[in-house]
Amino acid sequence: MSGVSRPGAAAFNAVRLAFAALAVAFLLLPLVAILPLAFTDSVFLVYPISGPSLRWFGALAESQAWTRAIVNSLIIGTGATVVATVVGTLAALGLRRELLPFSGLLRSVFLLPMVVPAVVLGVGMQILYARMGLASSYLGVIIAHAVLCVPFVLVNVASSLASIDPALERAAASLGASPVKVFRGVTLPLAMPGILTGAVFAFATSLDEVVITLFVAGPNQTTLARQMFSSLRENISPAIAAAAFIIMIVTFALLLAVKGASLFQALRKRQKVQPSEA
């Protein structure tokens, strides 16, 4: 039976790998197509590239509109990430044991911004902000972006909490640790990879959001994504590719930082375990 099943398993693995390769290519090909155009010396987004140049990065630095958009994106993205990380982590902790009544319904409510169309959220927030006096303000945009980012934090933190052995927390409590010490010494360090990953996804989501920003932001809160959208409508130039390159570099740098922090934490744990075993 094993001799018969091996060819079928090998064929299935080959099909699975081919499908995975096609999916990855489908996701990466648009990036491969647009990012090299950030280094063209032409004034049009066309192939072949006539010659390499960094002129469009200089154009971003010299343009007041683009620099203001980059600064606004960093301010709004950082604020939204902090708010979403705190709210999403607390929500994941509260819904962890499913002790609350209607915990499944509450979890679905937190995940609604992932499925509700951004246009619907944008219109609703615009009406709400007009009554609350938050329209065209940094605080309003930060809150709007945080609403979109909370589900990503909740999902990642909940996954990390689900992988924690409850026996570790019970052991710490049985040794006399208070609930606060158990959380700070056991739960929080073990959940930290999920918290950092959720924060990175939150920042990337805020950096890329344009639809809700169009509804709730004013002229002074123009983000990089909104500036790119406006430039596409008015004048298509390689400066848009340069801005996209900056977004990609920032996102990849954050992902690498989180991965490096996770590996460093795992290495420290291994170094602590080895002497104790010796």
Q: Is there a contact between 51 and 40 (Cβ–Cβ < 8 Å)? A: yes
Per-residue model confidence (pLDDT) at position 274: 56
Per-residue pLDDT of the chain (278 residues; tens, 9 = 90+): 444 456 677 888 888 899 999 998 888 888 888 888 888 887 777 777 777 788 888 888 888 888 898 899 999 999 999 999 999 999 998 888 766 677 778 888 888 888 888 899 889 999 999 888 888 889 999 999 999 999 999 999 998 888 888 888 888 888 888 888 888 888 888 888 889 889 988 998 998 888 999 899 888 888 888 888 887 776 677 888 888 888 888 888 888 887 777 777 667 666 655 555 55
Picking from 151, 146, 150, the residue whose alpha carbon sits closest to that of residue 79 is 146
Q: Which two structure tokens, joined as six digits, stand for 236? A: 């298509």
Picking from 140, 90, 134, the residue whose alpha carbon sits closest to that of residue 110 is 90
Q: Which residues sit opposite 40 in a β-bridge?
A: 52
Q: Is there a contact between 206 and 80 (Cβ–Cβ < 8 Å)? A: yes
Per-residue model confidence (pLDDT) at position 1: 46
CA 90 and chain centroid, separation: 18
Per-residue model confidence (pLDDT) at position 116: 87
Per-residue model confidence (pLDDT) at position 115: 86
Q: Is residue 97 exposed (0-12), middle (13-18) or buried (19+ Cβ within 10 Å)?
A: exposed
Per-residue model confidence (pLDDT) at position 64: 87
Per-residue model confidence (pLDDT) at position 272: 57
